[in-house]
Amino acid sequence: MRRTVPGLPMTPASDERPLALLAAVPHRFFFLSGVSSLALAALWWAWTLVARMGYAAPPAAVAPTALHAFLMVYGFAPFFMFGFLFTAGPRWLGVEPPPSAAWRPAGVAAAVAVLSLLPLQVAPAWATQLAAGVYALAWAVLLLRFVSLIRASTVADKVHARLVALALAAGCAGVAVFAIAGPAAHAVVRLLGVWMFLLPVFVVVCHRMIPFFTANVVPFVTSFRPWWLLAAMVAAPVAHGLVEAAGLSAWSFVVDLPVAVLMIAVTVRWGIVQSLANRLLAMLHLGFVWFGTGFALYAVSSLAERFGANGLGLAPMHALTIGFASSLLMAMVTRVTCGHTGRTLQADAVTWRLFLLLQVAVVARVGAELVPVPGALALAGVLFAASFVPWAVKYAPLYWRPRGDGRPG
């Protein structure tokens, strides 16, 4: 609550000071860490790509492509995930939220480690790996805190929480592998990060949240989230990743094609057309469209390889990572931020335009792979930064300010 003095403007109570709020409320600390690391990573990568056109490049103790892959998969998404899990997770599980002392030390260590990765490019490569090692240890501690909530829960349905915990364990292992072996272990780091961690977490949350949100907002659309669909959504990236790791990308269409057809059908069943009337809901649905699209592109790429032609390169990968994961991240974080800072649950005009700009960035990045022209990659990188950096600047202050409705939290 706020104290007021007659004739003077309201001033925040002691527990509403910025540092106190960040130290006590998990989504505030983790989301601020996430938007900060995302904005820095986007700016650094745009600089790196533009520099390839003949300009001065940033320091690079670690190969930029390897560091870019690490940051885009592991560098910011986990902060949003842990912020969400320590806020909404207890409600899922019917348990008390963890005290701040349970997550704060590891959270601070993780944030410092990740935010130091780019400055450490002026140091020897081992410094980057050391920071990644600290990050892996902090991640493990945070994961154990979440697992303890699952174990303490007596609710019947813990499937989503358990699947997220398993995916987070794979992600933690990927960070540990990078800490030990560095860019030399890129294939393993990508397998664990993209296919076992990032995409599974996002599809689990989509299965639980998109039908629920849609049914509450859109008339005549019922919640559709059977268990078999969850199994298919989680199995799809895991199966593709294993096929790819086995060197059988020319056969991955066996997985990719059925998944693409199913996921595109699911987007229709979940009410994408009806959702377009609500911007915040549309952001979730349009982001999910890229999941089926990414697998469709992988199917085309695989079939092309099967018949002796060139595949589509990294176009399918970026449809899934930038298109699906990044779009869903912007949509979900916007929704959670508005809800937990006492704001109206809606995407304002600025947020909506930034989301649409992100979709242009996805198309530009996929197109740069399909029709390579000079400057295309740099344009995609600049567009990605132009969508996420202003978004981060817009929402970051909300994490250290008191709630707009005057409630605690």
Instruction: Say how many domains are in the chain.
Output: 1
Would you say residue 386 lies in a domain? yes
316: domain CATH number? 1.20.210.10
Tens of pLDDT along the chain (409 residues)?
343 333 333 333 346 788 888 999 999 999 999 999 999 999 999 999 999 999 999 999 999 999 999 999 999 999 999 999 999 899 989 999 999 999 999 999 999 999 999 999 999 999 999 999 999 999 999 999 999 999 999 999 999 999 999 999 999 999 999 999 999 999 999 999 999 999 999 999 999 999 988 988 888 788 899 999 999 999 999 999 999 999 999 999 999 999 999 999 999 999 999 999 999 999 999 999 999 999 999 999 999 999 999 999 999 999 999 999 999 999 999 999 998 888 888 899 999 999 999 999 999 999 999 998 999 999 999 999 999 999 999 999 999 998 877 777 7
Per-residue pLDDT tens over the stretch 171-208? 999 999 999 999 999 999 999 999 999 999 999 999 99
Write the burial class of residue 147 (CB in 10 Å: 0-12 exposed, 13-18 middle, 19+ buried).
middle
Write the burial class of residue 344 (CB in 10 Å: 0-12 exposed, 13-18 middle, 19+ buried).
exposed
Would you say residue 272 lies in a domain? yes
Would you say residue 35 lies in a domain? yes
Would you say residue 235 lies in a domain? yes
Q: What is the DSSP string of 93-131?
A: HTSPPPPHHHHHHHHHHHHHHHHTTTGGGGS-HHHHHHH
What pTM did the predictor assign? 0.93
> Domain containing 36: what range?
16-399
- Provide, rounded to the nearest whole percent, the portion of the chain with pLDDT above 90: 86
As beta bridge partners, residue 3 has 11
Separation of alpha carbons 53 and 51, rounded Å = 5
Would you say residue 80 lies in a domain? yes
Would you say residue 262 lies in a domain? yes
Would you say residue 407 lies in a domain? no
Would you say residue 65 lies in a domain? yes
Per-residue pLDDT tens over the stretch 294-324? 999 999 999 999 999 999 999 999 999 999 9
